[in-house]
Structure 1
Amino acid sequence: MEYEPKYTVVLRGQEFILTKSQIEFDSPNYFTACFLGDFHEAQTKRLELSRSPDLFKLIIEHLCGYEVLPLDNKANTSDMSADSVLRNLRADALFYQLDGLVKSCDRAIKPRKTGRSFMIIGRRSPYTRILSNADSSSTISVEGLRWEKGYLKPGDVWVTTVTEDILNRMGQLQLRRSYADFEGLETVAAIEDFAQKAVGNYSKSGWTLMGWRFEAIPRPDDGSGQPGTKILIVLEGL
Structure 2
Amino acid sequence: MKDTTDTYTIVVRDRFFKLTKAQMQRDAPNYFTSHFLDSSGQCLTRIMEISRDPFLFELVLKYLNGYQIFPIHPTLVPPCSTPETAIGDLRADAEFYQLKELVNLCRSKEAPKSAPTVRFTSSQIAVITGYFNSTADGIAPSESFEQYISRFYPTLLSEERYNAASTGMLTLASAAPSQLSRFLIVNGWSERIVRAVVKRDMSSVERWELLGWKRDVSTPGVRHVILFVKIWTAPGFETPLDPSTLSVRHLYGSDKVVDTKKMTFVAQLIAADNTANGKLVEMRRPYVQDGKVIQNTKSTIPGLTQYDSITDSFCAAQKPVFGDINVYT
* Interval of TM-score (by shorter of Structure 1 and Structure 2): 0.3 to 0.5
Structure scoring higher RCO (CA < 8 A, sep ≥ 6) equals 1
Q: Tell me the TM-score normalised to structure 1 length.
A: 0.46
- Rg comparison, structure with higher value: 1
